[in-house]
A and B are shown apart, each in its own frame.
Chain A
Amino acid sequence: MIDAIQKRLLAEIADLHTVPTGAYNIRANSKLAARNTTANIDIVSKADVSGIDIRIKPGTKKESVHIPVVLSDSGLKETVYNDFYIGEDCDVVIVAGCGIHNCGVQDSEHDGVHRFFVGKNSKVKYVEKHYGEGDGRGKRILNPVTEAYLEEGSSMEMEMVQIKGVDSTVRTTKAELAANASLVVRERLMTHGNQKAKSIYETYLNGDGAAADVVSRSVAREESFQEFSSRITGNAACKGHTECDAIIMDKARVLAIPQLDANNVDAALVHEAAIGKIAGEQIIKLMTLGLTQEQAEEQIINGFLK
């Protein structure tokens, strides 16, 4: 059911070379390709719209859910709604991601709407990778929406990666944190050609002791355009930090808009933004170690996005 192109896409976005262990739901060209549930993790298709409900029983530890999506037919456009209900006291890893292979002339687009309801004291690691390939004139478009509702004492770590081949992306992430909940976001982004990538993060720290750290590292090459907009709202005695660190190259453009909104005298919020080209001294140092200028730039970028 899964062909060679789709297999390669799966390897890129989910490091999947064979069928994953644990629960999974693989979607290929808008259809269910494979699904597995476990004693603790159930996956059910939605009846009203396209998408799935993933229910994780309270106390589930050291289990993983893979829900990759691959598109290899040109011209597919879809919006998918996936809801994750994570019980109390869980410790799980969720791997999502979308790979598009577009050789045709029509645009391919996948818009995934993911909502996470994280129960008290649960721990979630969420990894989302985006990848596009194919030499057709049709664009590869991804517009993911992520919403996370973190109950008391829960924590979520989001790793968002988009390194190659996606022409246009608007990533919208919204998180609401109750008391003592924590959120860590690590975004890694590289754009080239005429690509456009926009990231919008809205974080609401609603309970005392809530903490958020939203950090984006990106490289904009050639004539690409990136926009990073991150707002942290502190409605309680909380801690928030957001940072955008970008390397700009060639004729690219990077717009960073960090915002802080403090509604409580005990909200401690910090933002940082830095955009700059690769420092000449870094390139020269690596050249004195025997690398060419191009190799030096690759090393610096690879390290930066690691």
Chain B
Amino acid sequence: MLELKDISFNVQDDSKEKEIIRHLDLNIDDGKFVVVTGPNGGGKSTMAKLIAGIETPTEGRIIFNGEDITGKSITERANLGISFAFQQPARFKGITVLDLLRIAAGKQLTVSACCEFLSEVGLCARDYINREVNASLSGGELKRIEIATVLARGTQLAIFDEPEAGIDLWSFQNLISVFERMRTANTRSILIISHQERILQIADEIVVLANGQVTKHGPREEILPELLGTSDAVGVCGCLKRGGANCD
């Protein structure tokens, strides 16, 4: 369903051209749960942004359901069926959780339908539905609302960029169950950028990205044993420390 063909992405860094993604090839099949791991600075988030259209590749083609989407805007890709959950979600003064879920769903969702999406991410809908998505929300609350917007969209491909970063332990347990349920539903393809061992454990496939290239890609059973004990598959504590939450 998604093919990245010979993708390169360069940026200007002090008048020098720096390669972030180098001739990357990757296929994501229908209904697969794929987790991308690899060292920091390896190009994982950039690859996710290239798929959503937030960045444009210097070279290469992106094919989604047989259609070349390389030249399409973020909006066009969203409407073709690609969702994106940001690592650091934006905040909006005056826009409520209900407003955001309705925008995400693209229709006037009923309050009870919105409540289901919020319950799914472990938030009590009554407390949140009319809250503004502003600085009064904690990082963990914001991340869960971000995931709820992706659930509300219900698209064919959902991309999550480091969903565990910045959330507390309790939220993390919830997060795993959200993904487990999405995994079981198996109705769409899911691409998650994560170092988290618990998330890697529920993957169908694991991709390791380093220096802008795919260094490993295969079934979880094959790849995960090689990663355990390295920084590409960290336990809960390491993950939370990285995310900056209290883990002392």
Contact = CB atoms under 8 A, between A and B. Distances in A.
A32 interface: no
Interface in B32-54: 52, 54
B56 interface: no
Interface in A196-250: 217, 245
Given A299-B103, A303-B95, A303-B99, A288 B90 contact: no
B71 to A, nearest CB: 16
Nearest to A283: B90
Contacts of A293: 75
A290 B75 contact: yes
Given A285-B89, A291-B103, A306 B74 contact: no
Given A288-B84, A290-B79, A300 B74 contact: no
Contacts of B94: 217, 302-306
A279 B90 contact: yes
Contacts of A303: 92-96, 99, 132
Contacts of B92: 282, 300, 303
A19 interface: no
A304 B99 CA distance: 12
B78 A287 contact: yes
Given A289-B153, A290-B106, A281 B93 contact: no
Nearest to A284: B54
A40 interface: no
A288 B93 contact: no
Interface in B220-235: none
A150 to B, nearest CB: 28
Contacts of B100: 289
Given A303-B95, A303-B99, A287 B75 contact: yes
Interface residues of B, number: 28
A263 interface: no
A290 B90 contact: no
B91 to A, nearest CB: 8
Nearest to A285: B90
A5 B78 CA distance: 42
Nearest to A247: B93
B103 A292 contact: no
Main secondary structure of the interface of B (DSSP, over half): mixed
Interface in A245-303: 245, 279, 281-282, 284-293, 299-300, 302-303
A292 B78 CA distance: 10
A278 B21 CA distance: 30
Nearest to B103: A289
B84 A286 contact: no
A303 B78 CA distance: 22
Contacts of A288: 52, 54, 74, 78, 82-84
B86 interface: yes
B93 A245 contact: yes
A289 B149 contact: yes
B119 interface: no
A303 B98 CA distance: 12
Nearest to A292: B75
A300 B84 CA distance: 19
Interface in B51-108: 52, 54, 73-75, 78-79, 82-84, 86, 88-96, 99-100, 103-104, 106
Contacts of B153: 289-290
Contacts of A245: 93
Interface string A167-182: 0000000000000000
A217 B134 CA distance: 15
26 contacts: A217-B94, A245-B93, A281-B88, A282-B90, A284-B54, A284-B90, A285-B86, A286-B103, A287-B78, A288-B74, A288-B84, A289-B78, A289-B100, A289-B106, A289-B149, A290-B78, A291-B75, A292-B75, A299-B103, A300-B92, A300-B95, A303-B92, A303-B99, A303-B132, A304-B94, A305-B94
Interface of B: 52, 54, 73-75, 78-79, 82-84, 86, 88-96, 99-100, 103-104, 106, 132, 149, 153
Question: Would you list the 9 A-B pairs with minimal beta carbon distance, nearest first?
Answer: A303-B94, A303-B95, A287-B74, A290-B78, A285-B90, A281-B90, A288-B84, A282-B90, A306-B94
Given A281-B86, A305-B94, 11 more contacts: A281-B88, A281-B90, A285-B90, A287-B75, A287-B78, A289-B78, A289-B104, A290-B104, A291-B75, A303-B99, A303-B132
